[in-house]
Structure 1
Amino acid sequence: MYAILTTVLAFAGAAVAAPALEERQTDQFSLRATDKLAGWALKNAHVAAGENVIQIQRPSVYSSDPSYLNGTNLYFDLGTTPPYGVRMPEVPAGTVGQVYSEPGEKTPGFGIGPDHLLTFNSFPTGFWACPVNDVFELFYGVSADPAKLPSKDCLAIQLAVGAI
């Protein structure tokens, strides 16, 4: 009897949580690079089980994966349950680290500024497009030292929030 009651309560909890997941999909947006890569799309690219890198691709070929905020967590809606949350790197001052997306809730601190730019910890800066195997991928690091970037071809960018 105890096992049946526990199972019923677990399903009831899942049913209560489901509407919140559906609610978030109504406020989806696209993320695009600015500056020298203006308009380029942000796409998830599978690299390992449950792990994606975020590539920055030409808009003439690719459209951005749908994104949304749930509180201060950023997610990509890739049609999976759970959705893919964005994991920001922990980097020493002056360096950058690669940004990943993985199933579930990851790094909090995202928002959208009044200028429609994605912010992390209230700042729209610190995002970098760095080439990896001839494709730009998303990196993050505030006040990065050019000598510590993964490539001399890395570009400082901001991420514009737009309609899908």
Structure 2
Amino acid sequence: MYAILTTVLAFAGAAVATPVLEDRQTHEFSLRTTGKLAGWALKNAHVAAGQNVIQIQRPSVYSSDPSYLNGTNLYFDLGTTPPYGVRIPELQPGTIGQVSSEPGEKTPGFSVGPDSLLTFKSSSDGFWACPVKDVFELYYGVNPDPAKLPSKDCLEIKLAVGAI
């Protein structure tokens, strides 16, 4: 009887003593731009029912909306259920398209590189800041034709992952 009780207590103690492993991919982080707009914040801006564009705002006024990865999907934590997933548009070769966020799971393929840059399809290239009505908005497209950019003032950027 003593042996059975000792074994049960040992297993119970091991279960309590074993730390629960956290899913590191669900930790929230901030996204900020690099390059000519270094440190600028990424903010969701409502444009239609259930759809946001991602604006790039001055860091002196705005802080980035919290974001996180779940698998290879990128989400913004806007306090909603479901959270807003990031959607990369379907693109024709040589073009870029506006990035948006919408409720639920959207475009897979995101990760954080060893250099703490956000990647899409294993590359940190392809993100753009383009002015729309005097505010920069996030676009995506790899090796676009300069004549097909929405504005001559679009800037190629990278997105740095940082602590909140």
TM-score over 0.5 (shorter chain): yes
Which structure 1 residue ranges, 5 or more long, are not aligned? 1-22
How far did residue 25 of structure 1 move? 9.1
Map of 2:138 onto structure 1: 138
TM-score, with length taken from structure 1? 0.85
Q: How many residues align?
A: 142
Please say if residues 117 and 160 of structure 2, whose CA atoms lie closer than 8 Å, have aligned partners that are also in contact.
yes
1:136 and 1:123 mapped to 2: Cα distance? Answer: 22
Q: Secondary structure at the match of 2:131?
A: strand
- Secondary structure of 2:147 counterpart: helix
Q: Choose between structure 1 and 2: higher helix proportion.
A: 1
| Residues 25 and 69 in structure 2, CA contact (< 8 A), matched pair in contact too | no
Q: CA RMSD in A?
A: 1.3
SS for the counterpart of 1:31 is strand
Instruction: Kindly indicate whether residue 75 of structure 2 is the aligned counterpart of residue 71 of structure 1.
Output: no
State the match for 2:47 in structure 1: 47
Query: In the TM superposition, what are the counterparts of 1:98-109 in structure 2 within 5 Å?
Result: 98-109=98-109
Gap runs ≥5 in structure 2? 1-22
8 Å contact kept, 1:24–1:70:
no
- Using structure 2 for the length normalisation, give the TM-score: 0.85
Q: How does 1:17-96 map onto structure 2 within 5 Å? A: 27-96=27-96
Task: Tell me the secondary structure at the aligned position of residue 137 of structure 1.
Answer: strand
**Residues of 2 paired with 1:42 and 1:152: CA distance?**
21
User: Is the Cα–Cα contact under 8 Å of residues 85 and 106 in structure 2 kept in the other structure?
Assistant: yes
Based on CA coordinates, which of the two structures has the bigger radius of gyration?
2
